[in-house]
Structure 1
Amino acid sequence: MLRTALKPRNLALLAVAVLVVIAFVQLGRWQLGVAEDEALRESLDRARSQQPVPVQTVLRPHSDFPGELGTRPVTATGEFGTDQVVVANRRLDGRTGFWVVAPLRVASSGATLPVLRGFVTSPSDLPPVPTGTVTVTGGLAPPESPYAGDAPPQGQLASVDTSVLVGRWPGDLYNAFVFQQEEEPAAAPASLGSMQRVPTPSGETGFKWRNAAYALQWWAFAAFALYMWWRIVRDEGRQEAAGRAAADQVDASGDNGRRE
């Protein structure tokens, strides 16, 4: 069969099959990308379609964080405390920096809600917290796990870990934090300095399974192209083997007739 596969015609067919396989594999990867993009778009559309609700209506202080509340838009009205913290080793738009997290004492419950105000590239760039009563709007998120690596420098945190914050900020604490997007009254741009808002993560998006199925179909077509080449070579090899066997039988019959 190897001799048959190495014939110029079959090698040319193999080259065509390889090109087809490459094209079909790339089409399958494209369909997977479409599946992820469509799922992300639908997730963002769902998040945008939800109206913010007061945080105290969906979450109680010190209670476990319900998974279905991830990215849920909420509002919280209260006053900021001045004890801001920075969370090290965060990235935004390709830059490494720090999250700025401040305590907001929610007026209706008296409990503190950690608010991720934004991102800065240096701890020295912290803007002052707003004074007076403010209403913060943003996406809700569960607390982060304790960081197991090297501790950050003194005065910095490695994660938004409410088990650490509860010892730093007195009183009741919500077991969550908010990716702040807006505040009312709105802060003057100059008061924010170089701080940028951090978008609320989109959460789990999964796949658009129809597009994922299309990807599998393209990959099946790719496998079928190689199978067809193998089938052509195999059948041709069998025909050649059968022809050689028939010729050998004829030669053997001729030799026997001459000996007689």
Structure 2
Amino acid sequence: MLRTAFTPKWLGMLVVVVLVALAFIRLGMWQLGIAQGEAEREAIERARATAVVDVTSLLRPATPFPNSAVSARVSAVGEYAEGQFLVPNRRLGEQKGYWLVTPFVVASSGVRLPVLRGFTTKADALDTPPPTGRRTLVGGLSPSEPPVSDARPLPSGQLASIDASVLVNLWPGETYSAFVFLDIEDPEAPVDRALTRLPTPLGDTELQLRNAAYALQWWVFAGFALWLWWRMVRDAHRRSENGSREPVDPTPEH
């Protein structure tokens, strides 16, 4: 059968079939991307429609982070304090850079809340102090990150993760075991083009089943195209074998 498959006719057809299969696979990936994009868009819309609650109603100092508060929309009134730091080895798309985290003293509790103000590619971002004065923040809540056990020594002003167990020894007073992805700030801080705000992670989102089904359909077509080529080669090989085995008429010629 391999001898039949490697003939110019069937190799040429295989090239065509592979190109068609690759096109089907790309169409499937495109449909899957649409499904994921729509799921994320709906999740973002649901998150923005969620009521904003005061951060002190969900968090208590020196207590574990409640699982029900993951990605909750919270607000806090207070002021930024000294002690901001960078978290290296973070990515935004294809860019590699840092998270800029600043302590925010919540006025009603006096507890420090780590605020992820954004992503930057500049290692000197700490040279720009945070905005001053009383302000209101709104953002998505996230639990404190775990410690990085194999982290190498970092430059001054950098930490391997947003780890509350480390921050309590760096910042005075109490610190919440959480941090906030900053979304809205009032009054709005001066525009810093080197700093990009990050959306709150949405966790698991449900795919749009219709688009996911279309993606699966394209992948089935790709597999069917390859299977059809194999089936045609097999049938051609069997016909060739049957033709070579036809009996010769033993009747002598007169």
Q: Evaluate the alpha carbon distance shift between residue 119 and residue 17 of structure 1 in structure 2; reply closer, same or farther with a 3 A threshold.
A: closer
Moved more, 199-208 or 168-177: 199-208
Provide structure 1 residue ranges, at least 5 long, that are not aligned to the other structure. none
Q: Does the 8 Å CA contact 2:28/2:214 hold for their aligned counterparts?
A: yes
Greater Rg, structure 1 or structure 2?
Answer: 1
Provide the residue aligned with 1:17 in structure 2: 17
- Structure with a larger share of its residues in helix: 1
Secondary structure of the corresponding residue to residue 138 of structure 2: strand
Q: Evaluate the alpha carbon distance shift between residue 3 and residue 113 of structure 1 in structure 2; reply closer, same or farther with a 3 A threshold.
A: closer
Q: 2:167 aligns with which of 155, 160, 165?
A: 165
Q: Does the 8 Å CA contact 2:111/2:175 hold for their aligned counterparts?
A: yes
Provide the residue aligned with 1:229 in structure 2: 229
Q: How does 1:139-218 map to 2 (within 5 A)?
A: 139-147=140-148, 148-187=150-189, 189=190, 196-206=195-205, 207-218=207-218
Q: How does 1:53-132 map to 2 (within 5 A)?
A: 53-91=53-91, 97-119=97-119, 121=122, 122-131=124-133
Secondary structure of the corresponding residue to residue 167 of structure 1: coil
* C-alpha separation in 2, matches of 1:135 and 1:44: 21
Q: Deviations over 1:139-170 (max 9, x none)?
A: 21221222232121133322211111111223
Provide the residue aligned with 2:136 in structure 1: 135
Secondary structure of the corresponding residue to residue 83 of structure 2: coil
Letter in 2 for 1:220: V
* C-alpha separation in 1, matches of 2:12 and 2:95: 50
Letter in 1 for 2:36: E
Moved more, 236-245 or 82-91: 82-91
* C-alpha separation in 2, matches of 1:53 and 1:210: 35
* C-alpha separation in 2, matches of 1:116 and 1:175: 14
Q: TM-score, normalised by structure 1?
A: 0.81
Moved more, 31-40 or 198-207: 198-207
Q: Evaluate the alpha carbon distance shift between residue 80 and residue 238 of structure 1 in structure 2; reply closer, same or farther with a 3 A threshold.
A: closer
Secondary structure of the corresponding residue to residue 101 of structure 1: strand
How many residues are matched?
A: 249
* Structure 1 residue 98: Cα displacement: 4.2
* C-alpha separation in 2, matches of 1:98 and 1:237: 61
Q: Evaluate the alpha carbon distance shift between residue 74 and residue 211 of structure 1 in structure 2; reply closer, same or farther with a 3 A threshold.
A: same
Q: TM-score, normalised by structure 2?
A: 0.82
* Structure 1 residue 75: Cα displacement: 0.3
Letter in 2 for 1:250: V
Secondary structure of the corresponding residue to residue 157 of structure 1: coil
Moved more, 19-28 or 176-185: 176-185
Letter in 2 for 1:196: L
* C-alpha separation in 2, matches of 1:3 and 1:217: 32
Provide structure 2 residue ranges, at least 5 long, that are not aligned to the other structure. none
Q: Evaluate the alpha carbon distance shift between residue 92 and residue 229 of structure 1 in structure 2; reply closer, same or farther with a 3 A threshold.
A: closer
* C-alpha separation in 2, matches of 1:76 and 1:165: 19
